[in-house]
Amino acid sequence: MKIKADQLAKQLKGDLPGLIWLAGDEPLLLQECADNVRAVCRKQGFIEREIYSVERNFNWETFLQSTGSLSLFAERKLIELRMNSAKLDDAGKKALQQFLGEPSPDLLVLISSPKLEGATLNTKWFKAIESNNLLVQIWPVNRDGLASWLDQRLRKEGISADGESLQLLVDRVEGNLLAAMQEIEKLKLLANNDGGPIKLDANTVLQVVADNSRYTVYQVVDAALEGDIARAQKILHGLKAEGLFPLVVLGAITRELRSLMTMLEKKAAGQGVNAIIQSARVFWARKQLVANALQRMEVQEIWQMLEQARLIDQTIKGMRSGNSWDQLSLLLADMAGKPVLTIPLSSVRS
């Protein structure tokens, strides 16, 4: 059975399956789900626990030996497989199938892995595993849902926050839920100073909460497509401060521009935007974003931006003079449809 992270607690109230697979790229949510499973297992008598780190050339015979024997001092055993990759080799697939072919109520296997790709989910061997077991797909909390997520976590700790303070928190912890929880712990300590809850305001956030936000190149591209130049520039500053090589950012931008070029050419040929997006297999969460970009952009603009990208590539490789981060900043402004004067990123410390 395939479920979301917020459905796990309810599922664990029933009979436990032989295998629970937690898959996702958000460390905090992955850890919390694993802790939840462990707590339930302890209550149900899974006293013995073994942990294996599954890396390349992992000896699956060790796993099978563990599943084939129970300690004399414990009636039930939890076996954890912590995978560095979401892909299993043939030996791993066979080992899991063998374990599940001879299920035991006294054994439970808990797998933690990065996000599983669609190609893996659709394979015959995985569908066989999923049918009688539990797959928990753990998705990151996106920016649109982060304020609500933070509000729930704060209220759980007896802290209420107004809209402005929540937005400041979002800006300071976006992409880093572990840091978000650390900051909430700090705020909780502050709340306990007088023995009661506090109302969080913007000044408190500015004074107490550090800027722990982490971004990806995909977020900077999406911010530009959305036309949010201020957010795009903020993310670009963050990527530079993290020491990311500018060619990585440029690569994400040019991939998006080429994809938009293809879609715009189809639009010019008379195809509808919805049909174009569907044929391009745009991820559902980005469909509206891409649709808006297709409505406001023209093919000629994309060509001009690709030419800018070519020159930036030369700057990064030392073939032209200039500051590549400043040039990326201007390119993002053009993508956003709002070319404006920007603060040079060269003035920002690395």
Domain boundaries, the chain: 2-138, 143-208, 217-338
Q: How far is residue 298's CA from residue 327's CA, in Å, rounded to a whole number?
A: 21
The yes-or-no verdict on residue 342 having pLDDT over 50 is: no
Q: How far is residue 186's CA from residue 270's CA, in Å, rounded to a whole number?
A: 56
For 188, the token pair is: 């909780």
Q: How far is residue 268's CA from residue 281's CA, in Å, rounded to a whole number?
A: 19
Give 182's contacts (C-beta < 8 A, 6+ positions apart): 212
Tell me how crowded residue 168 is: count the other CB atoms within 10 A of its CB.
20
Task: State percent of the chain over pLDDT 70.
Answer: 92
Distances from the Cα of 197 to the Cα of 146, 226, 242, 285, angstroms: 22, 38, 35, 36
Residue 347 — pLDDT band, cuts 50, 70, 90?
Answer: very low
Q: Which residues pair with 49 in a beta bridge?
A: 78
User: 217-338: what CATH class?
Assistant: mainly alpha
* Cβ proximity of 115 and 86 under 8 Å: yes
**Cα dihedral 318/258/284/149 (nearest 10):** 20
244 SS3 class: coil
Q: How far is residue 112's CA from residue 31's CA, in Å, rounded to a whole number?
A: 9
Q: Average model confidence (pLDDT) for the chain?
A: 86
What fold does the segment set 143-208 form as a domain?
A: Helicase, Ruva Protein; domain 3 (1.10.8)
159 SS3 class: strand
CATH topology identical between 143-208 and 217-338: no
CA-derived radius of gyration, the chain: 25
The DSSP code sequence of 101-117 is HS--TTEEEEEEESPPP
Long-range contacts at 243-249 (CB < 8 A, ≥ 24 apart): 243/350, 244/217, 246/312, 246/316, 246/324, 246/325, 246/328, 247/313, 247/316, 248/217, 249/217, 249/220, 249/328
pLDDT at 310: 95
User: 2-138: what CATH class?
Assistant: alpha beta
- Cβ neighbourhood burial of 274 (10 Å; 0-12, 13-18, 19+): exposed
15 SS3 class: coil
Q: How far is residue 307's CA from residue 49's CA, in Å, rounded to a whole number?
A: 58
Per-residue three-class SS string for 46-99: CCEEEEEEECCCCCHHHHHHHHCCCCCCCCCEEEEEEECCCCCCHHHHHHHHHH
Least confident of 6-15, 65-74, 165-174, 196-205: 65-74
Residue 42 — pLDDT band, cuts 50, 70, 90?
Answer: very high
The yes-or-no verdict on residue 242 having pLDDT over 60 is: yes
The yes-or-no verdict on residue 74 having pLDDT over 70 is: no
Least confident of 69-73, 74-78, 138-142: 69-73
pLDDT at 44: 92
H or E, element range at 145: helix 143-156
22 SS3 class: strand
What is the average per-residue pLDDT within 267-280?
Answer: 90
